Amino acid sequence: MLKNIRSVALIATSFFSILFCARMEAKLPSRPGMFAVIDTTQGSLTIELFPDAAPKTVKNFADLAQKGFYKGIVFHRVIPDFMAQTGDPTGTGSGGPGYQFEDEINPKALGLDKIKVKDAPEYGRQAQQLAVKNLDITSQSQLNAKRAQFEAEVRKIGEMTVAEVLEKSGYKYQDSLPSRKAIRGAVAMANAGPNTNGSQFFINQVETPHLNGLHTVFGQLEASDFEVLDKIIAAGNGNTKIKDVQVFDKRK
């Protein structure tokens, strides 16, 4: 009798799983492509993935989704007029899958090899950090003592391109990739610096040009789901949970 009950329960579970996947697949755009549907407690987010621009990143995301890694994870960091971040199983912002992998960014595709830092004030922090590194400044007192040298070094770095500054700051780029910009709705990897990608990612509520070259963009939210993203951000930190993530490959 118990065996029969378990069999019925298993059949029912499989049936509802099929219905759930069918419902998520119904949200997909009619055009060819690789898509992910993130089902949350605020609604579903449909994302087009970019395996051409970020092949390893997309594969990592798809593999984690297939394993059920993202189920139950919250959007732990949401900032109005900026973005919503998730993918941390601890919900603290410091968790991940237990490994890290490299960035997939082409600065030339983003135009960063043509822009000087002095003309892109959003990269001022990177210029200052590089100046501190170049002058071997390790404390506030040293910075105060070398203030004139520091300011001269920042001006010198300002004549370099953004791509050059970021590469000297530790980013290793791949010039063959058709990288995408961090526009409104862009889905990109969260990180703690160069080559520290894991499972955390964020979705832009607005365009964030200051993040170009710093984060691997691997997808784009469908315009029809911006309302759901707005709800997630309005709900606040930790108040939206991922119920499931399904990836569908419609490229053929």
* Strand 242-249 relative to strand 201-204, pairing: unpaired
Give the pLDDT confidence score for residue 5 in this predicted structure. Answer: 57
pLDDT digits (tens, 9 = 90+) for 81-110: 999 999 999 999 999 999 999 999 999 999
pLDDT at 28: 85
Q: Taking a C-beta distance cutoff of 8 angstroms, is the pair 188, 218 a contact?
A: yes
* pLDDT-flagged residues of the chain (< 50): 15-16, 19
What pLDDT does 251 receive?
84
Beta carbons within 10 angstroms of residue 70's beta carbon: 21
Q: Where are the alpha helices (DSSP H) in 135-173?
A: 140-145, 147-158, 162-168
Task: Tell me the C-alpha distance between 98 and 120, whole Å.
Answer: 35
Q: What is the pLDDT of residue 19?
A: 46
The pLDDT score that the predictor gives to residue 29 is 83
d(CA 172, CA 190): 16
58-79 pLDDT, tens per residue?
A: 999 999 999 999 999 999 999 9
Could you tell me the pTM of the whole model?
A: 0.88
140 by Cβ neighbours in 10 Å (0-12 / 13-18 / 19+) ranks as: exposed
Q: Which residues face 40 on adjacent strands?
A: 43, 242
Domains of the chain with bracketed CATH: 38-109+174-249 (2.40.100.10), 117-160 (no CATH)
- Is 88:96 a contact under the CB 8 Å cutoff? yes
